[in-house]
Structure formats: C-alpha cells, structure tokens
Amino acid sequence: MSKSPKVRKSRRTHTEVESMSHGWNTTTLTSEGDILRVLTDLQGKGWLTRGHSRSGHGLVPSIDRQPLDGFVRADKLQRERRSIELFRSTTRFFSSPGEQEALRDEIVALMVLRHHGVPTRLLDWSRSPYVATHFAVARHDDLDGEIWSFSYQDYKTEGRKQWRKWRQTTTDGSGDPDKFAAGLTAFRLGDPPNWIIAAFYPLGFPRQDAQRGAYTMTARFGVDHADALRALLVDQTRYHRYLIKANLKAGLRTVLLEQYGIWRGSLFPDTAGAAETAREAFPPQKCSGV
C-alpha cells in the first residue's frame, strides 16, 4: 500500500479575507509583526484609517446611534443646529485659532464638536494608521478591535463624480466638482442627495492635529458610512477592514507608546483631554442619577 503524500501546510499568521463586514473584505491579524507590517503598508499608500476597540458595529455616526437613532431628520437638524449655537455662544472668547473658524462655518463646527464627544453625523479618521490602531486597542482587552481603511486617492476620483450627478450641490448649479459646497444641501429639511465626502480641515485645532484627523460626512442622517464608502468606491481593493485579536491589545499599546510616542495623553493635547487622562487614576464610577 502506497503511503499518502504529506500535505505541506502553508504557514500564515493571519487569515486573508476571512469574513465580510458591510461588504468589506476583512483580514484577521494575529501577531504584532503582521499588524506592524499592515500599518507600514497603509501609511505608505496614504489611506485613511479609523480604529474601534470593539468590532462589529459598522461605521454609524454618533447622532444615528441610540438614543437618537429613531429621531426623524427634522429633529436631528434641530438638535444639530442647537448644539452649534450653544458651542458658538460659549467658545467665542477662548477657542484656539482653528476652532474660531467654527464661529463662521457649520461644517467646521461639527468637526470640532465631533472631537469633543458631541453627537454629530461626522466620523473622524486619521492619516496615521498608528493613531487608528491606538483607538482599536485602547480599551476592552477582552474583545477584538478593528481598523477600517480606504484609499483617499481613489475617493478623490470617485467622489468628484457625485457633484455632476447632483448639480444642486454646486454653487452655480453646473455640477462642476470644484464648485461643490456641502452646506447647500447638508442642512436642507427635505431629503438631500445621498452623497458622502471625505474632507480635511487644513487650519486644524489641537486634537485634530495631534490625531492627524480627517472626516467623512453624509448629507443624510441614518447612513452607515461603511455602506456609503463601499457604494462609492465599488472596487474592493480600495477599502479594507482589519480585525485585531484581543490578546494583542496590551502589547500593542506598549509598542505604540515606546516606538511611536502615541498614547491617550499625546492625542488629546488640551485641558479637557488631560483631565480625562487623569480620571484613569480612579476606578469607573456608576452613575448616581444626579
């Protein structure tokens, strides 16, 4: 009887395209070495990245999560407007130069509010995959984290096509991509065109600059940005999701701090951020109802 041939097993430390989330191919990373190689690749390609310390929740903006998820557009617009007005009335005399622009531009106001935890329809991303990884491993050591990433260069090509389709998004109604203005349709009471943008705010402010921030925003509420980006970019080579196993989180936090100087204190360089960091000296407190 002839012996069965030996099967040579390929040695892989991660599983390519293991699963799909919102139509995004997902790679599970199971070693620090694999993760660092992926981060180097993403950095080199200039992709935008976003990290979550718990996987499986998609890319839903905070204004569309509980308890606001059931609100209709008119209600969300009203709350959005109110939050901007309250912010402007209280920050006028002590905001940084970059934050002062929020006094004149609603989109910039939402960018600043997003970084300070106010519910908005924006999601913040980073040009640094190392920053995104910090947010993916910062908490929940018993749960897998994730990094979402997409090609900003391909977005710039595909994103410009939206304005030719929806001419009302341009200042002169021509559909010229160079004349797009988000404010023309983003705050409309009726249903606006279903566009998504990925944008930078060059002037910046401390938290954004430290986190090398960028933003995605939709005209409509209730839009999962994972679905919107997939529909816009189409080709699956232009976007990808990475799963980071829970057992790697603690070690990665050490690597990010010691090799890249990235930790919570470096990413929130303001008084409010420092106070939040100082809170770690105390155990979590349950709400007293006061």
Across the beta sheet with 123-126, the strand order is: 14-21, 24-29, 239-244, 145-150, 48-52, 123-126, 213-218, 196-199
**How many CB atoms are closer than 10 A to CB 244?**
26
**Quick one: pLDDT at residue 61?**
97
Domain ranges in the chain are: 14-270
**pLDDT tens profile 44-101:** 999 999 999 999 889 999 999 999 999 999 999 999 999 999 999 998 888 888 889 9
**pLDDT tens profile 163-187:** 999 999 999 999 999 999 999 999 9
CB 114 within 8 A of CB 99: no
The mean-pLDDT minimum among 21-25, 162-166, 216-220 falls in 21-25
- Whether the ω angle into residue 67 lies within 30 degrees of 0, i.e. cis, is yes
**pLDDT tens profile 121-161:** 999 999 999 999 999 999 999 999 999 999 999 999 999 99
Distance of CA 113 to the CA centre of its chain: 14
How many angstroms separate the first and last alpha carbons of the chain? Answer: 80
What pTM was estimated for this model as a whole? 0.90
Name the band, by pLDDT with cuts 50, 70 and 90, for residue 286. low
Name the band, by pLDDT with cuts 50, 70 and 90, for residue 34. very high
Which whole-number Å values give the CA distances from 186 to 49, 77, 169, 233, 252, in the listed order? 24, 10, 9, 21, 39
What is the rounded CA–CA span in Å between residue 180 and residue 229?
19
CB 204 within 8 A of CB 98: yes
What's the per-residue H, E or C state across 122-152? CEEEECCHHHHHHHHHCCCCCCCEEEEEECH
**pLDDT tens profile 186-214:** 999 999 999 999 999 999 999 999 999 99
Tokens 């002062």 identify what position?
100
For residue 9, pLDDT beyond 60? no
For residue 18, pLDDT beyond 80? no
